[in-house]
Amino acid sequence: MDINRRKALGLGAGLAAVLTGGAGQAHAQGQAQAGAPADEALARSLGLRSRYAQVNGIRMHYVTGGTGEPLVLVPGWPQTWWAWHKVLPALAKRYRVIAVDMRGMGGSSKPAGGYDKKTMAKDIYELTRHLGLGKVNIAGHDIGSMVAHSFAVNHAAATDKVVLMDVGHPDPSLYDIPLLPRPHQGLNIWWFAFNQVQGLPEQLVAGRSRYLVDHLFDTILMDPGSIGERDRRIYAQAYNKPDAIRAGNAWYQAFHDDITDFATYGKITAPLLGLASEYSYDFMQYVWAEQGTDVRVQKVPNTAHFLQEENPAAVTSALTTFLG
């Protein structure tokens, strides 16, 4: 999840006041947990279909259903397409939803390279071509927000409207994130540095991803129960093998390339909605205002980062109001 240094500072004491270091209260003992359901069963439980497509040199998994204007949904780390499960049924009543596992995630391929957000956006663009779609709406959260930003810039003719959720595209300010935060500075985004290390995370996390998942959710969520036991099993299983850990880390290791690409980008010309948590809103409204020509920013109440799972009703309402 991307919360750059300025955003982290903006979280400040407010976040520190509500966050707990709840890893000790987590379900770490769940390493002996039963396996999570397969994507096909999960999709069916929502009235949707699990599908695959060969695009841009990879096999991409996506979940789809509904009718109407196409809406592509892109999740972030450490999650999968399932991050949208609380909003998908309602959205599928109004749109043709396409929730993707982007390159390196879940049921999609985990190649050696191509984890810069420009290439990942091209993956999604080619998926829309494969599906015979013209313009699409696209919404992204966390790392998925970076990919959605890149999609809107590099494939403007294919973008109807774009929704960015709680993070911005990598920019040079990421180089200013302190390795050792000052006391009371707010959330320590230690995973930015951890995910830069090559080789070691796979050795440490493989078979133990539930510890990582529980720590992140128990530490960041306002209400740890908003991402429950079943959901945590699904996410932990998706990041439990070395190749999945390597691929997820690669999204962060590609930030150098992303920053270089960002320097060449113009503004997003499609209508842009930014959805921000209570703790990122004050900062992100200024960031997004500079990155588009038709921008509105909305705070999602009672959220700290995982917006569509913490307050699905508010996210559904914001999306349907904006997209029409």
Q: Which of 101, 123, 142, 214 is catalytic?
A: 142
Confirm whether 252 is a catalytic residue.
yes
- Note if the bond before 89 is cis, omega within 30 degrees: no
b or e along 13-43 (b: 16 or more beta carbons within 10 Å of the residue's beta carbon)? Answer: eebeeebeeeeeebbeebeeeeebbebeebb
Strand order in the sheet with 295-299: 49-55, 58-65, 95-101, 69-74, 136-141, 159-165, 272-276, 295-299
Dihedral in degrees, nearest 10, Cα atoms 1, 272, 104, 59: 170
Whole-angstrom distance, CA of residue 11 vs CA of residue 281: 9
Longest dimension (CA), the chain: 52
- The sign of the dihedral angle between the CA atoms of 216, 99, 321, 312 is negative
Whole-angstrom distance, CA of residue 274 vs CA of residue 140: 10
Whole-angstrom distance, CA of residue 111 vs CA of residue 121: 15
Q: Which of 95, 239, 252, 281 is catalytic?
A: 252
Map residue 140 onto helix, strand or coil: strand
Tokens representing 82 are 């399932």
Tokens representing 148 are 């959605």
Q: Which of 141, 169, 215, 305 is catalytic?
A: 305
Tokens representing 254 are 């590609």
Confirm whether 142 is a catalytic residue.
yes
Whole-angstrom distance, CA of residue 311 vs CA of residue 48: 22
Whole-angstrom distance, CA of residue 194 vs CA of residue 78: 13
Confirm whether 286 is a catalytic residue.
no
The conformation of residue 179, written as its DSSP 8-state character, comes to: S
Catalytic annotation, residues: 142, 252, 305
